[in-house]
Amino acid sequence: MASQGTLHLLFFVTLAFFPAQIPGKECHKIDTCSCIMDDGTGIISLHAIDNEDGTPRFTGIPDTVIPIYTFDWNPCTPLKTEGPCQGSNACQHTPDLFPVGKPNTTFSVNPDGTVLITYEKVTYEDHGRKLQVTLKCDATEKGSFVDGISEYGVGTESIYVGTFTSRCACPDVCPMYESVDLKK
């Protein structure tokens, strides 16, 4: 028969390798840049801070590794600029231009409750580039990538990751289809 110490050890190992399943939050996609939280808190929408004309709403976002590299980003509408970035939602300036992320997005909720938008990989010059933007709710912030965007990857594929802090990352704060003046 097993000793009490052995039973405690077995219990600990069971918890460590088979943790209880805790249902997580989800944010169900409405469109490219909007989702509805399944916990009833509301809709997160970036339409109010999107440039519908296809020009990037956010420019000069710093690269965290190579400061002379920058990014442009438009959260909803694909870029309508000339060159390789046309049709993507972000563009990396190295000073060459590289498209980052297509407007086909998915939404998930991180363990800390922030929402993650993943823009589908775009392949250009035999290299795939996907963008993941964590949306951090801050009712006082109009919208910025405080820490810039980081590139991860080797070989033929990279993932670009950044945290976008904004009041529009808060559920039911920004409207779905009205523009918000970022200067206010």
CATH assignment at residue 84: 2.70.130.10
Is 9 a domain residue? no
Is 137 a domain residue? yes
pLDDT at 13 exceeding the cut of 80: no
Is 175 a domain residue? no
What's the domain range around 95?
27-169
Is 31 a domain residue? yes
Q: What is the pLDDT of residue 181?
A: 52
Phi and psi (nearest 5°) for 68? -80, -15
Q: What confidence tens digit (pLDDT) does each residue in 92-142 have?
A: 999 899 999 999 999 999 999 999 999 999 999 999 999 999 999 999 999
Mean pLDDT across the stretch 36-54? Answer: 96
Distances (CA, A) of 56 to 6, 8, 51, 111, 128: 61, 58, 7, 30, 21
- Indicate the number of domains in the chain: 1
Q: What mean pLDDT, rounded, does the chain reach?
A: 86
Is 158 a domain residue? yes
Structure tokens at 179: 């523009």
Q: What is the pLDDT of residue 155?
A: 83
Alpha-carbon dihedral of residues 36, 166, 174, 135, nearest 10 degrees? -10
